[in-house]
Structure 1
Amino acid sequence: MSSSSSSSLPALTSLLQQSHIDDHDQILKAANTALKHSKADLDAQRIKIVALLKLDRFDDAIHAFNGGGDKLKERARLEYAYTLYKTGKPSEAAELAQHGDDRGYKHVAAQASYRTEDFRRAAELYQQLVAQPEDDAEADLRINSGAVDAQLEWAGQGDLVLKKKPGRQDLEAYETAYNAACGSIARGELGQGEVLLKRARDLCNALEDLGEEEKRAELLPIGVQQVYVLARQGRREQAEEMAREVGLEGIADASTRHIAQVNRIAASGAAGNPFMAQRLLAKGIRASEPDHPFRFQTSILDQNKYAIDLKSLKFSGTAESTAEILVKRQSPNLDAYYNSLSVINAAAYAKARTGKEALKHILPLLERRPNDVGLILTIVQLYVLTGNSASAINLLESFFGRLEKLSSAAEADMRFAPGLVGAMVSLYHNAGRRAPARRILANAAQHWRRRKAAERPSGAVHLLKAAGSALLDSPEPEHQHLATEIFSALHKEDDSDRYAAAGLLAASPSSAAPSSLTASLQPIDRLLSTLDTDALESTGIAQPASTTAVNTRKRPASDEQQTKPTKPKRIRTSRLPKDYDPSKVPDPERWLPLRDRSTYRPKGGKKGKAARQALLSQGSAPTAGGESEGSRPGTPGGAGAEVVKGKVPLGKGGGKRKGKR
């Protein structure tokens, strides 16, 4: 370092000691003055970058890092990681922050992981920071942790969220109330989300240290969420009024502005006109390109666009655009985004048809994409809706068979994915096939028990609980032993889980310690306090509906219709014969041929009488005293009977015919 730089450094140090938090401009000027004497002064360069970061001049800070070279980046690694995060490079920032052990690196790594949608990693980092509090602002940690929990719920990883119910501390600041509201909305608790959003709005309006512009900027995302909640609840008039109140002009964030426009279209009458909605949505898609939303938001926005295209009868374009994306993705996969595109692609080929007509157009796609999970589940759903559960079971079983032949770990994880296993078990239960349902649950439980808790997918814990509960009813000793191992492992992982404790107590009541298991369970007396045993005994046992009952579309007749006497049908006079007399009873044998009626008498005197007697005496035995009226010869040519002469029919074994001479 030159002498000029060494003389400028004490002046800069004295200026830093006399400065306050609001003197960043003066610090920046002093750093620039010091760098004029020595451009290679790393301390002055670092002080300049810190001042730029304090002034939110992140682009100037990244230019300073690029001008300072690798030595400056190594000297100010934390500042460089934070600058990368603020300039739209969160992946590089997260990778750089992993090499540091200081608390500041964890903050940067957590924020960068949040932006890269690695919410699991962000949650772990914030849990570490909260567990070891230091000089950090506790309120900031609570706000950031709440935001990560909300994103986990939105991303379908709600099982990683430790805190589900909002606490009193969450209602003290509008940021924490807003994050708690987002978590409730993601779980489908719209009523609670509406209350929390109203609380966040009231707290924000009550702040005195915020100006009107700052307050309006903070209220905009709250209003956008309120529009969404009101629209989901079916309160369209209130949602449309709230959308007009929010407006779109004052939203600076491009992605938030586009989402607000989508909610406004959904709440307005334009949603009923797909052509108008498509035109309005096309205006806002380009505006959100500089600031991309999260992936789950992008997936929902794409689904909205394709849904409007299908309603606008653009089947060919939708089928082609979705097919181009699906071709680039290897099948099978469990990605929710690509599986949803498979469903949209199938709907485009069906062309607004449902039931068996839709199956005729969708089944040919299965030959081209036999391992497309989204397509397979769509066909399974159509089979179930048309009452063809057997074909649905065969389709899923054949898909599982193809996955079983593949030996890679990825295919094994896909075969025992909680969602696919749940669909297969549900089909088995509807068909009354309990044994194969227990078998597939046992295989899936054995597969996921070999993995660590952090390596299991979302829903694996619920799958293990369902498997343990089903295996308890199995008569096989192996299944009983496996159920005990499942509930024992779940209870070991989380001893506060009541379901695991109850399952372990039911699976192994003798070996388990009753005191440790029943501590978290409700007493039996408390569970039975609201039950009326006399009423249950008088009601009897409800019998389940038979699964072999024939399904019919006819409505059963009501009790009144069954007991009500039927009126005689009135016959038209044009259909009655001319000599019809209503006082006379019609002959009941009028529909029989003449010779089959009891009043029939053949013509021909004795010959006719003999023929009639011969006809009526088939199979009777002759009596010793001759013939009588009740006993006649067994054959027409019997004793005392006159043979009726006539032409002899020709048979195969007859004699020779005489020809004419």
Structure 2
Amino acid sequence: MSASVKSLSALLAQASLDDHDEILKAANAAIKKSKGDLDAQHAKAVALLKLDRYEDALKVFNDVPKLQDRARFEYAYALYKSGEADRATEVAKENASTRAMKHVLAQSAYRSENFEVAADAYKQLSTETNADEEADIKINSSAVDSQLEWANKGHLTQKKKLERDDLQAFETAYNTACWCISRDELPHAEICLKRAIELCNAAEDLTDEEKKSEILPMRVQQVYVLTRMGKIDEAEQLSTTIPFAEIKEFSSRYIAQVNSIAASTKHSNPYLSHRLFHSAPKPPKTDQLFTYQTDILRQDEYAINLFAHKAGGVKSQTAKVIDASPSPTLSPAVNTASVVHAAAHAQSQSTSHTQTLSEKAALKAILPLLEKRPNDIGLLLTITQLYVLTNNLAAATELLEAFFKRLEQSGTASDLDVRHAPGLVATLVSLYVAQGRHSHSKTGLAKAAHYWREKSETAPRSLMTAAGTALLETHHPENLEMAGEIFEALFRQDYTDRSAIAGLIAALSISDPDKLPKELINSLPDVDRLVADLDVAALEAAGVPTLPSAMASSTTTKRTAPKEDQTPAKPKRIRKSRMPKDFVAGRTMDPERWLPMRDRTYYRPKGRKGKKKMEGLTQGGAVAEDKSVDNKQTTSGGGGQKKGGGKKKKGGKW
């Protein structure tokens, strides 16, 4: 054993960094003589990593457990490169004392979607001065920020707004474009992508082949952005210029081929689209898609299968996803599967595969599912949407209110989180606003804000902003105080948030002006600059717009300001054909003239027959008992025959 170690050490001393094959041969020779030689096993693992044989290197660590403790960095790196990102994060987190291990921790946490851990690791690395890594850390940090936005954790990002420095290098410009996409700022994303491509083409340190490799994923993102913006023709034209086979990352290649179907105007045949979708290559384990990408692609698959009239298969697939998850849940994958399951159920209930169900027919088909799954959020929101489309806002509101009440009575932490979820609260508030129930909307927002403030310091930002604004409008002292606390917490999270600054100033200026910092007031733009382009005289001349009443048309009407020289309008002349025959100008017209004569209050029938007939027509009046009819009752729909019916007299009249 000592001889093998000595010869291996001598070989390592003489070898250069490029002789990894020779090192691997020597290590294997030493291991043949002694399998317990940890030095040889360590050298073999490192040589395999240098040769990009990551799975073989991981096998060495699995076969020799003692080597895992001896070479923690190499073990974590082998796990990360072999697609075992979760395990790599655990190993790196336990030994994140060195800078190299922090890099592995950041990379593996990013791939395992532990974006908070990745953001914290890059933050630590940025504080440690290292000029050689500064640019890489900035690029990777911007990628983490975009992923935090996709995961609805934008309050944890370092980037709060688009800055000039983000567009100085093509890597940061591309990551900033992805950040804009995650925030649904598509016009900004389009600008950033164009800038990233320009910078990449102008890079002097890249070969033409490297430039092409870097630009292809940017083109794929451009197709996505153009499609989302409705520029289908541009997206289709750009998609035809992308050579899918030359995209090195399998995940990007897969997305590119799927997006080409969405951007194409030629794929009107659903069966052809179905075939093209399922022919796209699936990414390997080492290049897996992120959860939000997988969810969207699964939705695409459901939609394509429904267009291809595979409702039965979609019902079966989505039912498995729904049954495997507890209810209620905020999981986008589960709730989307529930929505698609309802659509597949409605399609399967249709008498014709080519028939599109109306909203009322779809409601009739889907409502029975609610009895089986009353806490299914996807199903609830689908039915709510159908109620809205049929102008039945009251039923939609009652449906959500009953659901919220059940969750409140449950009292479990998970149910209460669902009850106060920003999306669900916003849906109910929108229904209240549409019906003119503004007090209910403000109460709902305040209740949700109070819950999240007590539960966590990092409450949903959009919900807290809406709640603070609603509380300000009440002008109640307690509500103003609560609004001030909300906007103060938002301001502490992001000192550049203008809505938080304005809300804090508005709340404190009324409730407690002494606490209002002068620097906050100075940070607001001048009023003169805000109204510089407004013509007050023209606004007054145009009149005051009146607010529409609840359930009225969405178009607002204007009350035009009266002019001094305006003469009153002449009364509209009624044609003779529309006037009654006995019309006399100036005489009050009969208000009951539109009713039939027998329904008018002053109608009095003449003669004995007329009075008797009038008694029979009187609604709610006394009815004489007919003794010739048996008093026995029969059940409705029983099909029985009545007994004892009276006989008609000879010569009698009815």
* TM-score category, normalised to shorter length: 0.7 to 0.9
The equivalences for 1:348-497 within 5 A come to 348-351=344-347, 352-454=356-458, 456=459, 460-474=460-474, 476-497=476-497
SS of aligned partner of 1:114: helix
Residue 333 of structure 2: which of 312, 332, 337 is its match? 337
Question: Measured at CA, do residues 103 and 587 of structure 1 come closer, stay the same or move farther in structure 2, by a change above 3 Å?
Answer: closer
Distance in 2, matches of 1:350 and 1:333, equals 23
Question: Measured at CA, do residues 136 and 287 of structure 1 come closer, stay the same or move farther in structure 2, by a change above 3 Å?
Answer: closer
TM-score scaled by length of structure 2: 0.77
Question: Measured at CA, do residues 588 and 234 of structure 1 come closer, stay the same or move farther in structure 2, by a change above 3 Å?
Answer: closer
> Which stretches in structure 1 are left out of the alignment for 5+ residues?
553-561, 570-585, 591-661
Matched, 1:528 2:531: yes
Contact kept, 8 Å, 1:270 with 1:277, in 2: the verdict is: no
| CA shift for structure 1 position 462 | 1.7
Contact kept, 8 Å, 2:490 with 2:500, in 1: the verdict is: yes
Question: Measured at CA, do residues 154 and 589 of structure 1 come closer, stay the same or move farther in structure 2, by a change above 3 Å?
Answer: closer
| CA shift for structure 1 position 501 | 2.5
Matched, 1:542 2:538: no
Matched, 1:228 2:231: no
Distance in 2, matches of 1:451 and 1:7, equals 62
Deviations 1:216-268 (A, max 9, x none): 43333223223323333444444334333222333344333222211222222
Residue 75 of structure 2: which of 72, 80, 97 is its match? 80
SS of aligned partner of 2:276: helix
Deviates more, 1:359-368 or 1:198-207: 198-207
SS of aligned partner of 1:529: coil
Deviates more, 1:275-284 or 1:308-317: 308-317
Distance in 2, matches of 1:84 and 1:478, equals 55
The equivalences for 1:598-637 within 5 A come to none
Deviations 1:26-60 (A, max 9, x none): 55456556656765443443344333322322123
SS of aligned partner of 2:515: coil
Contact kept, 8 Å, 1:93 with 1:109, in 2: the verdict is: yes
Aligned position for 1:90: 85
| CA shift for structure 1 position 563 | 10
TM-score scaled by length of structure 1: 0.76
Aligned position for 1:152: 148
> What amino acid maps onto 1:98 in structure 2?
K
Contact kept, 8 Å, 2:251 with 2:282, in 1: the verdict is: no
SS of aligned partner of 2:94: coil
Contact kept, 8 Å, 2:548 with 2:554, in 1: the verdict is: no
| CA shift for structure 1 position 476 | 4.0
| CA shift for structure 1 position 398 | 0.2
| CA shift for structure 1 position 79 | 0.9
Distance in 1, matches of 2:208 and 2:528, equals 58
Question: Measured at CA, do residues 430 and 175 of structure 1 come closer, stay the same or move farther in structure 2, by a change above 3 Å?
Answer: same
Residue 200 of structure 1: which of 190, 196, 212 is its match? 196
> What amino acid maps onto 2:325 in structure 1?
R
Distance in 1, matches of 2:466 and 2:233, equals 43
> What amino acid maps onto 1:298 in structure 2?
T
Matched positions, count: 557
Distance in 1, matches of 2:309 and 2:9, equals 74
Contact kept, 8 Å, 1:278 with 1:308, in 2: the verdict is: yes
Residue 311 of structure 2: which of 308, 311, 315 is its match? 315
Contact kept, 8 Å, 1:4 with 1:38, in 2: the verdict is: no
Contact kept, 8 Å, 1:505 with 1:512, in 2: the verdict is: no
Distance in 1, matches of 2:313 and 2:59, equals 45
| CA shift for structure 1 position 165 | 4.5
Distance in 2, matches of 1:34 and 1:136, equals 38
> What amino acid maps onto 2:485 in structure 1?
E
SS of aligned partner of 1:246: coil
Contact kept, 8 Å, 2:5 with 2:40, in 1: the verdict is: no
Distance in 2, matches of 1:119 and 1:247, equals 32
Matched, 1:109 2:105: yes
Deviates more, 1:198-207 or 1:406-415: 198-207
Distance in 1, matches of 2:44 and 2:29, equals 10
Question: Measured at CA, do residues 13 and 287 of structure 1 come closer, stay the same or move farther in structure 2, by a change above 3 Å?
Answer: closer
> What amino acid maps onto 1:547 in structure 2?
A
Identity between Structure 1 and Structure 2 (%): 49
Distance in 1, matches of 2:169 and 2:140, equals 13
Deviations 1:635-655 (A, max 9, x none): xxxxxxxxxxxxxxxxxxxxx
SS of aligned partner of 1:542: strand
Distance in 2, matches of 1:232 and 1:549, equals 32
Contact kept, 8 Å, 2:420 with 2:451, in 1: the verdict is: yes
Deviates more, 1:345-354 or 1:288-297: 288-297
Aligned position for 1:504: 504
> Which stretches in structure 2 are left out of the alignment for 5+ residues?
348-355, 556-569, 584-654
| CA shift for structure 1 position 442 | 1.8
Larger Rg: 1 or 2? 1
Question: Measured at CA, do residues 271 and 566 of structure 1 come closer, stay the same or move farther in structure 2, by a change above 3 Å?
Answer: farther
| CA shift for structure 1 position 550 | 8.7
| CA shift for structure 1 position 490 | 2.7
> What amino acid maps onto 2:530 in structure 1?
L
Contact kept, 8 Å, 1:15 with 1:27, in 2: the verdict is: no
